[in-house]
Structure 1
């Protein structure tokens, strides 16, 4: 079985930093609930830090 190309995997946008992140094997059972790209972003959200977008966001 060939591995999937990274470009073929689903992506989401982090609820804290606004950066896009890609599906990971460890998230396969919980992908629908994943909201943060990293432990650092998850920690910032829990502490109530203001949302600061460090990635350009295009609004349509």
Structure 2
């Protein structure tokens, strides 16, 4: 079997929309620095400040 079981993926809460989001392969190198679930939430954070 390839990959990681989806049940075991780490999750975080997005500070903008307060929804949980799970680890993605593209975030593998910098998961500890990922704060937002999407570019949309990232942009809303900048506007709200």
Establish whether TM, by shorter chain, passes 0.5. yes
Q: Looking at secondary structure, tell me which structure has more helix per residue.
A: 2
If the length of structure 1 is used for normalisation, what is the TM-score? 0.73
Q: Which protein shows a greater Rg?
A: 1
Runs of 4+ in 1 over 2 A off after TM superposition: none
Structure 1 unpaired stretches of 5+: 50-60
If the length of structure 2 is used for normalisation, what is the TM-score? 0.87
RMSD: 1.3
Count of residues in correspondence between the two structures: 49
Structure 2 unpaired stretches of 5+: none
